Amino acid sequence: MNARMKNPAQVVPGAMQALMALGAAERATGIPETTLQLVHLRASQINGCGVCVHMHARDLRKAGEPDEKVDTVAGFRDAPFFSDEERAALALAEAVTRLADRSDPVPDEVFEEAAAQFDEQQLGALILSIAHVNLWNRLNATTHQVAGAW
């Protein structure tokens, strides 16, 4: 597989810096980095973004997350490896990523569970982070970025 072009964030002046700054702002709210990585992995699995699936699984393992946890992200509801906070974040990530799959894209119970686990600033950062990884997924999928090449 070959990329169709460089990632647009590398081509458009200032875009990469803006996206990196958004990521830094999200992390500055105190959400655990592993929670953000889990959310990014799950959204990337749903979107079929090989670059991001590879990167986030690798980063989780480098951070010391066990293979059992990384390997069962898609089954987080039934796997015993996740905290209540992580489950709430992952459920929100699925809902936000799959907006067109149902008439009520982000059900109240999903949002309320996330709001119970995170303060308002963290919840805002989590929503931004989910939208952010969805942006990366779309950039990578559209331009056929190659997993492992970054």
137 assigned to some structural domain = yes
Structure confidence at residue 30 as a pLDDT band (50, 70, 90):
very high
Asked whether the beta carbons of 130 and 118 are under 8 A apart, the reply is: no
Asked whether the beta carbons of 140 and 43 are under 8 A apart, the reply is: no
The CA-atom distances, in angstroms, between 27 and each of 45, 98, 119, 133, 142 are: 21, 23, 14, 13, 26
For residue 149, pLDDT beyond 80: no
150 assigned to some structural domain = no
148 assigned to some structural domain = no
Q: What is the pLDDT of residue 4?
A: 96
The SS3 call for residue 144 is coil
Mean pLDDT value across residues 59-67: 98
Asked whether the beta carbons of 47 and 137 are under 8 A apart, the reply is: yes
CA atoms within 13 A on the CB side of 129: 30
149 assigned to some structural domain = no
The CA-atom distances, in angstroms, between 72 and each of 42, 65, 68, 76 are: 10, 12, 6, 6
Mean pLDDT value across residues 9-37: 97
For the record, the structure tokens of 90 come out as 């992952």
Asked whether the beta carbons of 139 and 9 are under 8 A apart, the reply is: yes
Mean pLDDT value across residues 108-117: 98
Which one has a higher pLDDT value, 150 or 80?
Answer: 80
Q: What's the domain range around 41?
A: 8-143
The pLDDT tens digits for 74-104 are 999 999 999 999 999 999 999 999 999 999 9
Work out how many domains the chain is built from and give that number: 1
Structure confidence at residue 1 as a pLDDT band (50, 70, 90):
confident
3 assigned to some structural domain = no
62 assigned to some structural domain = yes
- CATH label of the domain that carries residue 90: 1.20.1290.10
Q: Output DSSP code: residue 48.
A: T
Structure confidence at residue 148 as a pLDDT band (50, 70, 90):
confident
The one-letter amino acid at 4: R
86 assigned to some structural domain = yes
Look up the pTM and report it.
0.96
72 assigned to some structural domain = yes
CA atoms within 13 A on the CB side of 60: 24
Which one has a higher pLDDT value, 48 or 149?
Answer: 48
